[in-house]
Structure 1
Amino acid sequence: MVPMEWLAERFERERPRLRAAAYRMLGSVTAADDAVQDAWLRLSRTEAEIENLGGWLTTVVARECLHQLRSRRHRREVPLELVVTAAEPDPEQEVLLADSVGLALQVVLEQLTPGERLAFVLHDLFDVPFGEIAGIVGRTPAATRQLASRARRRVQGAEVPKAEPDRHRQRKVVEAFYAAAYTADFDALVRVLDPDVVLRTDEPANIVRGAKAVAEQARAPQGGNLRSILVNGTMGALITIGGRPDAVMVFTVADDRIVRIDVIRDTERVGRVADALGA
């Protein structure tokens, strides 16, 4: 029998990767942690010899995620949970936030079917072979490949921008945006925005396209305070007015310009961000 201490040590090595995969599949850190914990419970009870522990754990976590995604059809949808930090993330958070966990992609993933979401996340983001994914989703490898292909087309069709990975470069661009917004410098705002920039607001749902149109709306609110944060691995800000959380802004930066701004005004989500920051 494999010593429990050895299993626990190996599991802890795998935990960050499993947690990151589960978050991409579920859009909730809490649900992801539950799926990973379920994998540990199963591992601690198994008596069979496991040749590929990493692959075995990935399969267990993916099956639990698929079960959770399918069960959402029969109850209220679980809202996308933002991953927020006010400082540089620790190593475990870094794994969770790395590689395309940006808000724009996560929103698109929420719109996929459970099978499409698993196939895309496991294959395109974690390089799991289609043959292994097929056993999880209950399809043939060819059908699983089609699931991932459909998901990929939907992601590409949503024009999810590829964000600048260097956070220092992100920060420089976003800080230039802040400075221009506070001084109402229209020309400076246009210069920091991509010509095809998109501004999306959730409540009320609205989309504004183009640098000049977005710059027209980029005015710092009177009495408002801005706190720089990281949201799903990219630069963002918590906006408070009169000491009360009002909105969360998330910026996607590419080629030293802002290509997308997401403004979240949903009271519940903004409140959770403020609570996470102790604001």
Structure 2
Amino acid sequence: MDDTGGNEDASTRPEDDPLLSQRRGLANLAYRLLGSLSESEDAVQEAYARWFAQPADHRSAVANPAAWLTTVVSRICMDQLRSARVRRERYVGEWIPEPLPARAEWSALSHGSREGDPADHITLDESVEMAFLVVLDSMTPAERVAFMLHDVFRVPFNEVAEIVGRTPGACRELASSGRRRVAAARTGAGGAGARRRSAVVGEFRQAWQAKDVDALVRLLDPSVVAVADGGGRAAASPEPVHGHVRVAEFLVHLAGLAGRLDLLERTVNGQPGLVAVSGSQVLTVYAFDIDDSRIRRIWAMRNPDKLRSWSN
């Protein structure tokens, strides 16, 4: 195409294309598949680049452009998930999905918002809870894509089959396997209400700041597991810490090393969480899995590469 514009009119310009309204839905899908804001944004950008790289007559021949974009994003994500398994073998320490801030709270933390931040596109619901994303990360790429597309985004199995490259029957089995993994992870979880979860996190913050081991032990499930992700960029325990006494003592040890511990109660992936700050700098984001009145899992994100949406 020459630089005079040829036969392309204003209706074909990317900035005017109504398909750009699909970006939020595509970003939501990609984040849930990849657990990374930067990678999900790249996947969505790549899908749009492929769409607009087609000649106008090819685009007009696509019966359902939104479905086309969903297919392309899903396939890009599946390729990313396959390569991620190799990259994880070289990752320093434990890997945790990138935490999401709540829009208003993030703006308050950063003293203003950054226009176009990928976090703005993600809807905070139960399918982005950290516990849910961690279960998704245990699935195979095909299992994760089939389960997410069908069970969360309600894509019919015949369409899922075209995306995954399996038969509809095989995709049903993949989604069913993913469903069983999610159900197993939730076994025994009492599903504490939002108000109770918030209260538990508040009590946890007070006990931690007071360096009260006994109070922390009472708030932790006996089989609690604490996992930290430093990615080799920030100090973090290289292995998970197990058991309520060990986790409580470890937390108090961390508080002693940190001196004054500035902890803010904030929403993390749609659930009550904590943010450790030093002045205006976010050092760590904590997400929790709470069963009734006890904390079963603690995820601590310290890798600064995964905290960009929490920073200035």
Task: Compute the TM-score of the two structures, normalised by the length of structure 1.
Answer: 0.77
2:224 and 2:297 in contact (8 A); partners too = yes
Aligned: 1:158 with 2:181:
no
Q: Considering only aligned residues, what root-mean-square deviation do their CA atoms show, in Å?
A: 3.8
How far apart are residue 131 of structure 1 and its match?
1.1
Letter in 2 for 1:34: D
Change (3 A) 1:274 1:31: closer
Counterpart CA distance in 2 for 1:14 and 1:165 is 32
Q: Partner of 1:249 in structure 2?
A: 286
Matched residue, 1:230: 267
Corresponding residue for residue 201 of structure 1: 227
Greater Cα offset, 79-88 or 228-237: 79-88
**In the TM superposition, what is the alpha-carbon distance from 1:61 to its structure 2 partner?**
0.9
Q: What's the % identity of the aligned pairs?
A: 37
Three-state SS of the structure 1 residue aligned to 2:297 is strand
Aligned equivalent of 2:311: 278
Partners of 2:285 and 2:276 in 1: how far apart? 6
SS of aligned partner of 2:172 = helix
Structure 1, residues 186-208: CA drift from partner, whole Å, max 9, x if none? Answer: 776566x4756623234242353
Matching of residues 101-180 of structure 1 within 5 Å: 101-159=128-186, 166=194, 170-180=197-207
The aligned counterpart of 2:20 is 12
Deviation per residue, 1:77-113 (Å, 9 max, x gap): 6754413437436896374432321222212222221
Q: Secondary structure at the match of 2:60?
A: coil
Render the CA deviation track for 1:44-75: whole Å, top value 9, x for unaligned: 22433333333222112111111222233555
CA contact (8 A) 2:265 2:273 kept: yes
- For the Cα contact (< 8 Å) 1:245–1:274, is it kept in 2? yes
Q: Is 1:40 the equivalent of 2:48?
A: yes
Seen in structure 2, the aligned counterparts of structure 1 residues 143 and 216 have a Cα distance that, compared at 3 Å, is same
Matched residue pairs, number?
272
User: Could you tell me how far apart the structure 1 residues matched to 2:72 and 2:203 are?
Assistant: 45
Where structure 2 has 5 or more consecutive residues not aligned to the other structure, the ranges are 1-7, 108-117, 229-236
1:100 aligns with 2:100: no
Q: CA deviation at 1:245?
A: 7.0
| Distance across 1 between alignment mates of 2:168 and 2:311 | 47
* Structure-1 separation of matches of 2:35 and 2:269: 11
Whichever residue aligns with residue 272 of structure 2, its letter is M
Say whether residues 1:26 and 2:42 are aligned partners: no
Unaligned runs of 5+ in 1: none
Confirm or deny that 1:264 pairs with 2:300. yes
In the alignment, the residues of structure 1 paired with residue 271 and residue 251 of structure 2 have an alpha-carbon distance, to the nearest angstrom, of 19
Instruction: Name the SS of the counterpart of 2:296 in structure 1.
Output: strand
CA contact (8 A) 2:265 2:275 kept: yes
Question: Retained in 1: the 8 A contact 2:221–2:296?
Answer: no
SS of aligned partner of 1:177: helix
**How far apart in 2 are the matches of 1:181 and 1:75?**
34
TM, length-normalised to structure 2: 0.70
Larger CA deviation: 144-153 vs 82-91:
82-91
Secondary structure at 1:33 match in 2 = helix
- Contact 2:99–2:130 (CA<8 Å) still a contact in 1? no
Secondary structure of 2:263 counterpart: strand
